[in-house]
Copies of this chain bind each other. A is one copy, B any other.
Amino acid sequence: MKLTSDPITLKDIAIALNLSVATVSKAVRDSHEISDITKKRVNDYAQKHNYRPNLMAQMLRHKNGRSIGVIIGAIPNNFFSDVLSGMESVTHQKNYHIIITQSLESVEREEKNLEHLTWRSVDGLLVSLSSETKSIDHFKKVHASGIPIVFYDRVTDEIKTHQVVSDNIGGTYLGTMHLISNQYTRIAHITSSKELSITSERLEGYAKALKEQGIPINQDYIKYCNHGGKDLDEIETAIDELLRMKQRPDAIITASDRITIGALAILKKKKIVIPGQLAIVGYSNFSAPEIFQPELTTIRQPAYEIGRAAAELLIKLIENKRLPSKFEKRILPTELMIRDSSRAKRKK
């Protein structure tokens, strides 16, 4: 009897039962070429001694580590943490695990993370591009080397693969239409960096609504945060510029959790009355936006479901050796939740 509780191996079982390692290996995996009686002996013994196949040995053989690399902006961000939670729920169930890395909106970290993840020989990658990312050559290289990737949230068309996004066009369209129907006409948009897919999509929804309602688009009403609002200054500058305009906007649509919360804090500091002086509609995944001051009208993305869908598609890609004939772009619906911060301007 051993004192240390070192994990037991196939060899241990083989010796104990006077069998060969090969036989034991097959028995534990319930191979048809092993007699029931032997299987039972082996499995009973394995059970009793708590045998667990050594993952690393298995990985070394098959090159499948059942692990998935994730690149996200930042963990402490309502949207991303919900996405992660969704991913975790499917990987957990399918016996994969996720290795999480944060880009913190920097290309440099994104590249380092990518390198780290490939070194870990992940079986696949779930990627949301950082706001700084312009060229995606580093991803192209990895993808070309045979590692499947699914892009979510901030995606790119330059690599042919699955994508999972929320209906950014629709979300912003609805938000803009809602503001217009509440008599707001000078609607500004504070958004992330120009390069991101989400930025142009959200812009598209915004432009579409304005155009439909015959409101001209004022480029000065559109403000980009090139670092996604990583620091408040970026947002504050945008707001200052908007407030200084002669034709000051009467409403703002903010394009991410961070920007939304940052903008609210800044406007509060500046004692701007919402929605009296300025209405707000913001993308946000905060769990209880009704406790904000004022109650916030939000565009909510199905973050958890995005995480789930992305993970499911990736695992499918990993487990089917044959490439799918067609790649999906899955668009999940956004939801406009109307609250006080965009209340109708004039009582009828």
Q: Are A76 and B81 in contact (CB under 8 A)?
A: yes
A345 adjacent to chain B (CB < 8 Å): no
List B contacts of A102 (CB < 8 A). 85, 88
Q: Are A265 and B293 in contact (CB under 8 A)?
A: no
Q: Are B88 and A81 in contact (CB under 8 A)?
A: no
Cα–Cα, bound, A60→B60 (Å): 8
Copies in the complex: 2
Q: Which residue of B lies closest to A268 (CB)?
A: B291
List B contacts of A82 (CB < 8 A). 76
In the complex, how many angstroms separate the beta carbon of A63 from the nearest chain B beta carbon?
A: 8
Which chain A residues (255-311) contact chain B, with CB distance < 8 Å? 261-262, 264-265, 268, 287-288, 290-295
In the complex, how many angstroms separate the beta carbon of A130 from the nearest chain B beta carbon?
A: 15
A57 adjacent to chain B (CB < 8 Å): yes
Q: Which residue of B lies closest to A97 (CB)?
A: B99
Q: Are A56 and B60 in contact (CB under 8 A)?
A: yes
A196 adjacent to chain B (CB < 8 Å): no
A168 adjacent to chain B (CB < 8 Å): no
A75 adjacent to chain B (CB < 8 Å): yes
A65 adjacent to chain B (CB < 8 Å): yes
In the complex, how many angstroms separate the beta carbon of A306 from the nearest chain B beta carbon?
A: 13
Residue contacts A-B, CB under 8 angstroms, 6 given: A5-B145, A5-B146, A54-B60, A55-B119, A55-B121, A76-B85
